[in-house]
Structure 1
């Protein structure tokens, strides 16, 4: 018999506990939003994201910031009317399942936690828990959106670059 983990215990970070609490409080179903478990191949997903979007220098150094060393063209916007996460559901289809990566730094080591979900639920999580840096990634690995700690919205992957370029940022 397995013992249920205490989400607020020392084995869990504050960010993960906050995210889990919001998800439980809002009664998100696993189809709407869920943390990848130890039974999911999260390491393979992480590696596929890194290999799909980042230069080999990033892969060799495992930098702390995901917005610095993209393999392909990017397009970014800043000085937005609203916070950058506000625009995510205008870029991503409501029913599309995506990967959500959010970073946390503990003792000067950065870790990206990976979740799977739909963008409206992810926006609630972002709003109620905060972030330093996050990425939303197509499960087909076609595009990636990153929001960094400077509140810059960055897209890579031709489809997402075009969507961001054509987005009305003043609405």
Structure 2
């Protein structure tokens, strides 16, 4: 997965400062903080599939009829905001755990997601105050007060548009 992402980033001409894997010296700290903050698994979550099944705290869900258009992520997170980007290792190439962690701008992540599909990912605030996930059931999940309110507003507007 990491190699695929790196290939797509190169092909798109996305600079490393816009989106890059976290350094090995940071990886464990960042991932463990995410797991301890947002899941009931804690650091054991490194070996779990589907982190969203173990989210803790208040959450909001938006059930989508199809995968989210990545450009819509910009309704939730500013294009230039730097976030942690966590992806599952669907290819099974990772030696330690099931997740890759990247750091970068939301705009670069949306460009990447336009080229890749059918995998779960998580966007996490750099200060670990919120998390946004899209899972393989086309469900958008927000955790943390900021993202809970944004996902609720998104789902409410979506439901109103469906009824109109």
CA distance 1:61–1:42, shift in 2 (3 Å): closer
Matched residue, 2:15: 29
Structure 1 segments of 4 or more deviating over 2 A? 59-63, 79-87, 129-132, 167-170
The superposition leaves residues 43-100 of structure 1 with CA deviations (integer Å, 9 ceiling, x where unpaired) of 0000100111112xx1275321110111211000113476253421110011110000
1:104-127 deviations in Å (ceiling 9; x for gaps): 1328x9611011111121112122
Mark the CA change 1:84 to 1:66 in structure 2 (over 3 Å): closer, same or farther: farther
Q: Report SS of the residue matched to 1:150.
A: coil
How far off is 1:131 after superposition? Answer: 4.1
Alpha-carbon distance in 2 for matches of 1:128, 1:93: 20
| Corresponding residue number in structure 1 for 2:110 | 123
Q: Give CA-to-partner distance per residue, 1:126-150, whole Å, 9 cap, x none.
A: 2212242110000010000111111
Q: TM-score, normalised by structure 2?
A: 0.83
Counterpart pick for 1:157 among 124, 138, 144: 144
CA-based RMSD of the aligned residues comes to 2.3
State the shift of 1:31 in Å. 2.3
> Which residue is 1:78 aligned to?
63
The structure number with the bigger radius of gyration is 1
Gaps of 5+ in 2: none
Confirm or deny: 8 A CA contact 1:103 1:131 kept in the other structure: no
What is the alpha-carbon distance in structure 2 between the residues aligned to residue 137 and residue 73 of structure 1?
Answer: 15
Higher helix share: 2
* 1:41 maps to which of 22, 26, 48: 26
